Amino acid sequence: MSTHGGLQLSRITSGALLGSPMPSLPDQRHQLVVGDPGRCPGQPSLTITIFDDSGSVIAPAGNDPVSNRYVEAAAAFDALARRCRCGQCLAAVLHFDLVAGAGPVPLKRRVPGIVQRALAIPPDAAGCSLLGPSLAAAARMVEAVPSIRNLALVVFSDFQLFDADPERVLSDLAGFPGEVHAVALGGSSGISGLDPPITVTRLTSGDASGALGRALLRSLAQERRGARIPADSPTPAS
């Protein structure tokens, strides 16, 4: 299990708490330093992201009350899109609630509007803490695009799961094809004990701005040539 450091998780509430539009998102996104994803790999790739919008994440005292995870994820997608010329670099966005999402769609030259809109708390989000249904939806996505050669799944959650059998869900997560990357918001202890195939990035309130974006960009750029992504200091495992 590899562990990397993380994200400045503000404790200040904002309108984004309820999934409202974030007009300042583009400016914030372009101010972040996430790195250069390098050149296209020459074969189809797909990165599926799954976002947790449960109360323990978005509440005023939660692990990401101002939706920084979406701002930073948007910065990573934007960095890749500006470098993609092949049209074979696909991305998808899913939410724990399965009420909204996007993709798979190509990130060629720009981030498609459908992905930009999906990078926010869905207005009708139920606030569930169930990973299993989203994981099953991700598996169906993979089955629908058999030509994909480079595959990554990135889950952004505090991993305070309420699935009926969370151990089974985490086992399914570890068995997902391709790179599996668990981004643990708040450095959650719920992520401990995961199988070694899963890469873990722990994000805490003391970590640097842009680290979540860099964590996602590392997964987006896993098979790309010439990627240059700044390293973050490791956060000790809890």
Asked whether the predicted pLDDT for residue 14 surpasses 50, the reply is no
The class of domain 3-16+47-220 in CATH terms is: alpha beta
Indicate the average pLDDT of the chain: 82
Asked whether the predicted pLDDT for residue 237 surpasses 60, the reply is no
Give long-range contacts, CB 8 A cutoff, 24+ apart: 107-110. 107/77, 107/80, 107/81, 108/81, 108/84, 109/81, 109/82, 109/84, 109/85, 110/78, 110/81, 110/82
The pLDDT assigned to 30 comes to 58
Asked whether the predicted pLDDT for residue 196 surpasses 70, the reply is no
155 vs 95, 182, 183, 231, CA distance in Å?
A: 10, 5, 6, 20
Confidence of residue 192 (pLDDT cuts 50, 70, 90): low
* Domain spans of the chain, in order of start: 3-16+47-220
pLDDT digits (tens, 9 = 90+) for 70-98: 999 999 999 999 999 999 999 999 999 88
Which residue did the predictor score with more confidence, 238 or 205? Answer: 205
pLDDT digits (tens, 9 = 90+) for 109-150: 999 999 999 999 998 878 889 999 999 999 999 999 888 889
